Structure 1
Amino acid sequence: MTTSHSNRLLRHARPQILARDEAASAAPVADLGTLPDWDLTDLYPAPDAPELQADLDTLSAACTQFAKDYEGRLATLDGPKMLDCIERYQQIDVLAGRIMSYAGLRYYQNTTDAGRAKFMGDLQDRITDDTTKLVFFSLEFNRIPDDRYAEVFAQDGGPARYKPVFDRMRAMRPYQLSDELERFLHDNSVVGAAAWNRLFDETTAGLTFDVGGDTLGIEATLNLMTDHDRARREAASQALAETFGKNIKLFARITNTLAKEKAVEDKWRKMPTPQTARHLSNHVEPEVVEALRAAVTAAYPRLSHRYYRLKAKWLGLDKLQVWDRNAPLPTETPRTIAWPEAQATVLDAYAGFSPKLAELAQPFFDKGWIDAGVKPGKAPGAFAHPTVTTVHPYVLLNYLGKPRDVMTLAHELGHGVHQRLAAAQGELLASTPLTLAETASVFGEMLTFRALLAKTTEPAQRKALIAGKVEDMINTVIRQIAFYDFECKLHAARAQGELTPDDINALWMSVQGESLGDAFEFMPGYETFWTYIPHFIHSPFYVYAYAFGDGLVNALYAAYEDGLPDFQQKYFAMLSAGGSQHHKELLAPFGLDASDPAFWDKGLSMIEKLIDELEAMEA
């Protein structure tokens, strides 16, 4: 279907933002050591490099020739000729991906730089124009009769290894529009969602917050939400609320427009629910997502509600305010972790699992594959961007030296390692559905946490470490399912008419008390905090992938701790599979099945055990 086709060729312009909402931090801090910058020359030497112009020319010619050779003929191709066709299409994908990866990564280094924004926008326009010639490919492919499709993919010398890609594409057949409409949507994409996404990104990056007389950017202000000084945390929260409130009409307009645009396209495609497109792209059944959601919401009382009551007691408070949610414990000693120590911590933890894992992560530090420092206009949060399978991934961080920043490093390196291993599948098969894309990242965090815990014997430090991990898991599981519920409510409400800022605020608050529990009071202004979360804008319903990944990893880690034979070998095989297998096939060697509701309870029980340990420390 064309929107997925278009998004695949242009996805590199907008890297997946993979950090959780409060996990990253960013404000200039001394004594961090030398923080690495990206070296993008592995993609192109410079924006005006002749290599880039040559690839643009090659891409344009390749699209024209591909359409000339194959349009109207796909159903007539035998197995070997279909393989040639698919591999030519894959090479076009690599070319477009390389170009847009370079433009996108330069842009995210400084989203407020008009020249970088124009460079990316111009390239996106040009590639959209060139790849319009390819819109026929998925449309025509999906019209191949089932018996002919099965025959061609079964022939000797045919494209059998690519069948998972096209099985997923053909699952979209019921929602495919006419060729003319699909071409229109493809051409219109650069002035539709992509344009609103850029407006959101540039607006968010340009926001300023007055915290006690200091003018800070969004990441620096969010970082203060984990400050030891409660007054600073409160001041940051109030500053966030004030600025979000001043910009609430713009954020509501962006949200209304994108939700309506999605609803219109879903209506034309006859999608049964707003969530259907995400489930299809994730190659996950709706009932599996609902089993996850039901398990997590049922666990709110025994996980987040229970934990935050404990935290209120530790902080000596009758009620927690929003600025206490991610506060460090009073017994936790403030500590800045320099970059060399963070690198050693994560690599040692990875090596403790397998030397191969550390070897795969090492080049990120040595070869300019990480951009870690805080810079004006730099994209907030953190992500790992795969670029294309013929190059390598890049990791973006906003590193401040807090323990959570070390965990974010472990998380994003997990993505990077996963992307490196999956690259051997080739461009079409390497891409992993979002539900599985979080596996290696969350597993990397778990390895790092367990390695640190094993070395920590002092009770107060151990308590702080476990509490930090519980909070990360609550942010990853509880918060993200609450976010998913917010999105479900928002899209259902938007179907009834335009939403005022107060309408959206009310939907946001309806999930906050339910998920966080009775330990909290919510300050005036907190109702606007939905405004800065990029997933709602860039990737509707993305957020449940975090909870899926955390539950999956908890179950995987339990199997690892139980001594499942050949676990490391099975783990690397799973990551190397990329998107070539369904989650049932990938989890079967571990004796796990995500369609079993008990699977999710097994993952949630790991969080519960950590809270049990914290409660036992109080006895």
Structure 2
Amino acid sequence: MTTDLNSLLWDTSPLYASATCEDIDRDLSRGAAEAQAFRERYAGKVATLDAAEVADAVRRYEDLGELLAKPQLYAHLLFAADSEADDHKRLSQRTAEFGNLMSRELLFFDLEIMEIADDRFAGLLSDELLAPYRHYLESVRRFRPYTLKEREEQLLKMKSLTGTDAFSRLFDELSASLRYRMELEGEERDFTGEELLGLLHHPEAGVRERAFATFLNRHEENGIVFSSVFNNVALDHSQELELRGYRHPMEPTNLGNDIPEEVVNRLMDVSEANYGLARDYFRLKARLLGLPKLKNTDVYAPVGDNDRTYSFDEARELVLEAYGRFHPRFGEMAAAFFDERRIDVLPRPGKSGGAFCMGMTPHLSPYLLLNYTGNLRDVATLAHELGHGLHFELARKQTMLNYHAPLPLAETASVFGEMLLTRFLLQRESDPAMKISLLCAKIEDIIATTFRQNVLTRFEERMHRERQEGLLTSSRLCDLWWEENGRLYGDAVDMIPPYRWGWSYISHFIHARFYCYSYTFAELLVLSLYRNYLEQGERFIPTYLSILESGGSLSPADTVRPAGIDLADPHFWQKGYDFLAELIEELKGLLEQRQH
């Protein structure tokens, strides 16, 4: 079966007809009018409302949130697919300014919830009318000690348009605009960044290193811009910490994630204590590749003769079957993304790098962006992003305020989906060499999703702490990056010199401060959930469904408690790394079988 090229582009017409259609103007005008009416109805009165009135106000607030979100989400999709189109640029900026204005208009609501007297608030929480919104209300109140007066909050939001938001936009546009020229197979040609990163899976070591060096050297050429963006984002965060009275750079993220600081610290400390597992694997892989020592461009190299590529049709069938074998409902929901053209597949100039799943609202279907180049890692990325999509689909039973899972759980379904794909591929494969290749890919993925994300978090933490003391030169940013990666690689992997600029293309540092530890959190959590699945079989599925369906209606701890998981257990995180150790031992067993 040959894929129609149009089917590889997502269809956003169910949202709006185009970036210039009148329906967008209508929704923006209606949203502004309803936001003003909401403010007139409730401003200055929230603290006096009874439970029924608060419940009604929250429902109105949710409906308004959905209305305001739609044009902004649509603009984000268009800009991500093509940031060079003028209509997309204009709409993206217009909706960003609109969203900023609306958030200032509606700030009062959360602020007045914070101002409700403690005894009165406790009474509201105990009322069954507000049961669906208890977690939301408690989440708002957690920020009470760090929140400023309404006018000050409005000014901070207003200035963000020309501050961090502007620098984020600059980062996105610059990253998407970069072009790369490199020789491959005797021909010099242009590449996108995603195509070069895809060559890290190429069978030839020279190609891998040349591709990554070309990519990173281009970033160094734009180092003045990238270091300025990082410095200003970090400076803005530092100033906000001081204004609000936070103690350390990660505290706002931890509060928002509803994860105690000690749990995050334990997660990171346990990860670092297990860096030796990664180094053991890297030494093993060097032997598999016939190398005395790996370079960091060899970490994702195919093992043996496995340089196979997969058409997108093949990837789709593999991933759909893996999900369908787990549960038919999962297969059906995943298939809808293809059938309804909610996936943008191929890399191209102007398109955002990486991959994401855009969860919209409970009444709008999610979309996936990929940069598919055909290697096994890209097949796993499809499974990963579809996992996000299934999570968003299942959470649509929630209302707007409870729709999005807290960040530590946001990667749960995506990582679980990758595990399903890996086990499916291992079970259907009879070739021992291919089994070794698949197991290597899974181990590398776990290392990337735990240890590497821990490295990223430590770099980010050091960047923010040092920026509080003064300007970080690009050379110092490179030093921090080099040092933290060196702690992971040790003497098992040599880093190529251009990798000093590896920090400069990581968008999470710009768009979602300290998001990266959520990957580590989710990976280790999923290893525990997957072990439960292997032990319980179909009995596990209802528990897993309930976790995904809960969206953001519960804290992370309460969400996973029905699965028998205690996030406060000091040994919990180590169990995930014990599972990784078992996979490495399984790999060694396969290698011994092949030698005999």
Are residues 339 and 618 of structure 1, via their aligned partners in 2, closer, same or farther at CA, if it must alter by over 3 Å?
A: closer
Q: Which residue of 2 aligns with 1:149?
A: 121
Residues 216-262 of structure 1, C-alpha deviations (whole Å, 9 max, x = no match): 22111111111112221121122123212211121111111000000
Alignment of 1:105-144 (within 5 A): 105-144=77-116
Structure 2 counterpart of 1:444, which letter?
A: G
1:387-409 CA-to-partner distances (Å, cap 9, x unmatched) read 11111100111112211111101
Moved more, 147-156 or 461-470: 147-156
Q: Which runs of 4+ in 1 moved over 4 A?
A: 30-35
Counterpart in the other structure of 2:208? 233
For 2:140 and 2:134, the matched residues in 1 are separated by 10
1:48 equivalent to 2:4? Answer no
Report if the CA contact (8 A) 1:42-1:391 is conserved.
Answer: no
1:21 aligns to what? none
Choose from 283, 291, 295 the match for 2:266: 291
> Does the CA-based 8 Å contact 2:306-2:437 persist in structure 1?
no
Alignment of 1:200-599 (within 5 A): 200-212=171-183, 213-301=188-276, 303-329=277-303, 331-563=304-536, 566-599=539-572
2:131 pairs, out of 160, 178, 193, with 160
Stretch deviating more after TM superposition (57-66 or 312-321): 312-321
Q: Is the Cα contact below 8 Å between 2:180 and 2:218 reproduced in 1?
A: yes
Distance apart, 1:48 and its partner CA = 2.8
Distance 2:348 2:591 in 1: 42
What is the distance in 2 between the residues matched to 1:618 and 1:391?
48
Structure 1 counterpart SS, 2:368: strand
Question: In the alignment, what sits opposite 2:143?
Answer: 172
Indicate if the aligned counterparts of 1:72 and 1:140 stay in contact, CA closer than 8 A: yes
Q: Does 1:61 align with 2:33?
A: yes
Structure 1: give runs of 5+ residues left out of the alignment.
1-29
Q: Residue 154 of structure 1: CA displacement?
A: 3.1
Query: How far apart are the structure 1 equivalents of 2:355 and 2:99?
Result: 26
**2:70 maps to what in 1?**
98
Q: Which residue of 2 aligns with 1:27?
A: none
Offset, 1:31: 7.6
Instruction: Please tell me whether the aligned partners of residues 33 and 340 of structure 1 are also in contact (alpha carbons under 8 angstroms).
Output: no
Q: Distance in 1 between matches of 2:392 and 2:383?
A: 14
Which whole-Å deviations, capped at 9, do the CAs of 1:147-197 have from their partners, x for residues lacking one?
1112233335x3221110110110000101122110101222222211111
2:194 touches 2:347 (CA, 8 Å); kept in 1? no
Does the alignment pair 1:609 with 2:579?
no
| Distance in 2 of aligned mates of 1:230 and 1:120 | 40
Partner in structure 2 of residue 16 of structure 1 = none
Q: What is the deviation of 1:33?
A: 6.4
Mapped to 2, the partners of 1:60 and 1:33 lie a distance apart of 41
What is the Cα-based RMSD across aligned positions, in Å? 1.5
What secondary structure sits across from 2:55 in the alignment?
helix
Answer whether contact 1:32 1:400 (CA < 8 A) is retained: no
Tell me how far apart the structure 2 counterparts of residues 340 and 424 of structure 1 sit (CA, whole Å).
Answer: 31
CA distance in 2: counterparts of 1:229 and 1:164, whole angstroms: 52
State the Cα distance separating 1:66 from its structure 2 match. Answer: 0.7
Residue 36 of structure 1 is matched in structure 2 by 8
Q: Which amino acid aligns with 2:204?
A: D
Helix, strand or coil: the match of 1:597?
Answer: coil
Q: 1:564, CA displacement in angstroms? A: 6.4
Q: Secondary structure at the match of 1:384?
A: strand
CA distance in 2, matches of 1:238, 1:45: 41
Tell me the number of residue pairs that the alignment of Structure 1 and Structure 2 aligns: 587
1:191 aligns with 2:175: no
- Aligned partner letter, 2:34: A
2:383 touches 2:421 (CA, 8 Å); kept in 1? yes
SS in 1 for 2:494: coil
* Larger mean Cα displacement after TM superposition, 188-197 or 433-442: 188-197
Report how far residue 307 of structure 1 moved. Answer: 0.4
1:410 CA drift (Å): 0.5
Report sequence identity in percent. Answer: 36
Q: CA deviation at 1:517?
A: 2.6
Q: Distance in 2 between matches of 1:388 and 1:110?
A: 23
| CA distances 1:422-456 after superposition (whole Å, capped 9, x unpaired) | 11111100111110010000001100110110111
Partner of 1:87: 59
TM-score (normalised: structure 1)? 0.92
TM-score normalized by the length of structure 2: 0.96
Counterpart CA distance in 2 for 1:447 and 1:127 is 38
SS at 1:112 equivalent: coil
5+ unaligned residues in a row in structure 2: which ranges? Answer: none
1:10 corresponding residue in structure 2: none
CA contact (8 A) 1:43 1:102 kept: yes
1:45-98 Cα offsets, whole Å, 9 max, x none, are 222333222211111111111111110000111111111111111111101111
